[in-house]
């Protein structure tokens, strides 16, 4: 039988292995010193700038993450520190950074997260040495992307959960899980690295865009920490003390505050507003209500501020946090009222009214009709409110409103819209009834 050679899945593994096989024997025979930069070679911009690292992580990250592979296990090839050391011998900074990022991606896929961190760190150093502006910006953009993937993997991998197979960790064959506090610190390090590198992109438009993307990764990470780390655990997950849960919640909030401060460095207003919106929405989605409203209200552009506040308020209302939702909706109405362009104000008023109606705040929706600049827009919104009354089967409340507060020339149309809503509600009930009757579970007798 012919032996089947293993197939390398990642180009980085093949290149690094070939480079290792070609270079190591030569060094063993001749003991050639490392390649030195010629004195007359130009250095890249930012030569003396170093990324502010986290010293508390050094003892943990200095450990080799090479868990033993069981004998006979197929696909046992893994990323090794030697691959990173071999890639560092490449003299061209752009090529060196590209290979290191390929190694980092392979390490992330094989769950070797500390090695991925080392590879991304080395790639960042290579990017600062690249003199070509185009290659430099492309390399930095890739670093921002890979740093986001790494931080997301670290947070997901270390979140508190029980072991499905007791005794599987610590048996000498399975690597121990990264502690939660270490994982959060490592993720924050990668987010800061991404922001730091994105700020060095020479093209101003790409610089603003990728600063926004780095901050968006921070927003998503804060939401995950708040929902997966700082929430009380169920019976199927690891128990945590109140102090630990409070510490996780504080860290999630610190990430939002840091992200909002970093967003102010973005030059292009559209990307700055988008970054602040993403932070506010992520905070609202994860239940960090006070911070969500505070960040959304800090957006200077009235249109972006109104959009963010409406989404935050809707999250709060659907989760039963009515006081927070009322405050956010009021701030959203103030932001809409401050918009001078009539067409844009009409669009955002419609968004506000739809959100209020969808959360059952009909009184607030009717009060928001005053924000419309024309009677025609106001009449269209009244019809939508009347039909929503019918869909929610609030027939008596709708009739009282139409007969007392609506001008006489509008009443006939609004009564028709109310009946349309009631008919929709009846149709939905009948469809649900037939669906339940035809389902296999309906005729089953337990």
What is residue 357's predicted lDDT score, i.e. its pLDDT? 92
Q: How many residues does the chain have?
A: 446
- Using pLDDT thresholds of 50, 70 and 90, give the confidence band for residue 166: very low
pLDDT tens column, 273-297: 999 999 999 999 998 999 999 999 9
pLDDT tens column, 288-330: 999 999 999 999 999 999 999 999 999 999 988 999 999 999 9
- Using pLDDT thresholds of 50, 70 and 90, give the confidence band for residue 22: very low
pTM: predicted TM-score of the whole model, two decimal places: 0.74
Q: 277 is written with which tokens? A: 């919106």
Stretch 179-201: mean pLDDT, rounded?
A: 91
pLDDT tens column, 339-370: 999 999 999 999 999 999 999 899 999 999 99
Cα–Cα distance, 438 to 221 (Å, whole number): 44
Percent of the chain with pLDDT over 90: 57
Is the pLDDT confidence value at 160 over 50? yes
- Using pLDDT thresholds of 50, 70 and 90, give the confidence band for residue 55: low
Is the pLDDT confidence value at 49 over 50? no
What is residue 157's predicted lDDT score, i.e. its pLDDT? 84
Question: What's the burial of 388, exposed, middle or buried (CB within 10 Å: 0-12/13-18/19+)?
Answer: buried
Cα–Cα distance, 315 to 285 (Å, whole number): 6
What is residue 430's predicted lDDT score, i.e. its pLDDT? 85
Q: For 48, what's the count of Cα atoms within 13 Å in the CB-facing half-sphere?
A: 0
Three-state secondary structure readout of the chain: CCCCCCCCCCHHHHHHHHHHHHHHHHHHHHCCCCCCCCCCCCCCCCCCCCCCCCHHHHHHHCCCCCCCCCCCCCCCCCCCHHHHHHHCCCCCHHHHHHHHHHHHHHHHHCCCHHHHHHHHHHHHHHHHHCCCHHHHHHHHHHHHHHHHHHHHHHHHHCCCCCCCCCCCCCCCCCCCCCCHHHHHHHHHHHHHHHHHHHCCCCCHHHHHHHHHHHHHHHHHHHHHHHHHHCCCCCCCCCCCCHHHHHHHHHHHHHHHHHHHHHHCCCCCHHHHHHHHHHHHHHHHHCCCHHHHHHHHHCCCCHHHHHHHHHHHHHHHHHCCCHHHHHHHHHHHHHHHHCCCCHHHHHHHHHHHHHHHHHCCCHHHHHHHHHHCCCHHHHHHHHHHHHHHHHHCCCHHHHHHHHHHHCCHHHHHHHHHHHHHHHHHHHHHHHHHHHHHHHCHHHHCCC
Stretch 93-117: mean pLDDT, rounded?
A: 92
Is the pLDDT confidence value at 13 over 50? no
Cα–Cα distance, 200 to 140 (Å, whole number): 8
Cα–Cα distance, 232 to 367 (Å, whole number): 39
Integer angstrom CA distances of residue 399 from 268, 356, 359, 392: 49, 19, 20, 13
Is the pLDDT confidence value at 440 over 90? no
- Using pLDDT thresholds of 50, 70 and 90, give the confidence band for residue 230: confident
Cα angle for residues 379, 384, 389 (degrees, 5° grid): 125
Is the pLDDT confidence value at 192 over 90? yes
The answer to whether residues 357 and 386 touch, using CB atoms and an 8 Å cutoff, is no
Question: In terms of Cα–Cα distance, which of 151, 118, 2, 16 is closest to 77?
Answer: 16
Query: Mean pLDDT in the chain?
Result: 81
- Name the most confidently modeled range: 22-36, 87-101, 419-433: 87-101
pLDDT tens column, 374-400: 999 999 999 999 999 999 999 999 999
Question: In terms of Cα–Cα distance, which of 220, 234, 237, 225 is closest to 160?
Answer: 237
- Name the most confidently modeled range: 18-32, 59-73, 154-168: 154-168
Cα–Cα distance, 75 to 8 (Å, whole number): 9
Domain ranges of the chain: 374-435
What is residue 313's predicted lDDT score, i.e. its pLDDT? 95
pLDDT tens column, 329-338: 999 999 999 9
- Using pLDDT thresholds of 50, 70 and 90, give the confidence band for residue 48: very low
Integer angstrom CA distances of residue 195 from 53, 214, 287: 13, 6, 25
Cα–Cα distance, 248 to 230 (Å, whole number): 5
Stretch 93-107: mean pLDDT, rounded?
A: 94
């Amino acid at each position: 039988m012919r032996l089947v050679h293993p197939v390398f899945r990642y180009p980085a593994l093949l290149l690094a292995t070939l480079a290792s096989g070609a270079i190591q024997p030569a060094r063993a025979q001749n003991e050639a010193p490392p390649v030195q930069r010629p004195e007359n070679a130009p250095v890249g911009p930012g030569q003396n700038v170093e990324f502010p690292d986290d010293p508390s992580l050094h003892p943990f990250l200095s450990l080799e993450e090479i868990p033993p592979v069981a004998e006979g296990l197929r696909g046992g090839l893994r990323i090794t520190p030697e691959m990173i050391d071999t890639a560092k011998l490449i003299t061209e900074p752009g090529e060196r950074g590209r290979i290191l990022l390929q190694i980092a991606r392979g390490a992330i896929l094989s769950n070797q997260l500390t090695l991925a961190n080392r590879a991304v760190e080395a790639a960042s150093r290579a990017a600062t040495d690249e003199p070509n502006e185009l290659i430099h910006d492309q390399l930095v953009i890739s670093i921002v992307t890979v740093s986001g993937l790494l931080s997301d993997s670290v947070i997901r991998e270390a979140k508190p959960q029980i072991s499905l197979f007791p005794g599987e960790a610590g048996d000498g064959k399975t690597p121990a899980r990264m502690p939660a506090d270490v994982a959060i610190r490592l993720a924050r390090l990668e987010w800061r690295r991404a922001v730091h590198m994105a700020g060095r992109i020479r093209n101003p438009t790409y610089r603003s865009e990728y600063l926004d993307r780095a901050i968006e990764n921070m927003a998503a990470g804060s939401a995950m920490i708040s929902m997966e780390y700082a929430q009380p655990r169920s019976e199927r997950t690891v128990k945590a003390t109140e102090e630990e849960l409070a510490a996780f919640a504080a860290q999630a909030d610190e990430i939002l505050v840091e992200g909002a401060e970093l967003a102010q460095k973005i030059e292009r207003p559209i990307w700055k507003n988008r970054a602040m919106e993403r932070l506010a929405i992520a905070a609202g989605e994860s239940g960090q209500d006070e911070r969500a409203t505070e960040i959304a209200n800090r957006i200077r552009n009235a249109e972006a501020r109104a959009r963010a506040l409406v989404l935050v308020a809707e999250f709060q209302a659907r989760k039963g946090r009515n006081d927070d939702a009322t405050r956010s909706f009021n701030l959203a109405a103030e932001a809409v009222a401050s918009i001078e362009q009539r067409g844009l104000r009409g669009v955002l008023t419609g968004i506000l009214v739809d959100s209020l109606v969808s959360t059952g705040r009909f009184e607030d929706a009717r009060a928001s009709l005053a924000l419309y600049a024309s009677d025609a827009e106001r009449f269209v919104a009244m019809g939508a409110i009347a039909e929503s009354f019918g869909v929610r089967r609030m027939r008596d409340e709708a009739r009282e409103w139409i007969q007392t507060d609506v001008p006489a020339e509008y009443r006939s149309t609004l009564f028709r819209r109310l009946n349309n809503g009631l008919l929709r509600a009846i149709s939905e009930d009948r469809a649900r009834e037939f669906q339940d009757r035809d389902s296999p579970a309906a005729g089953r007798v337990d």
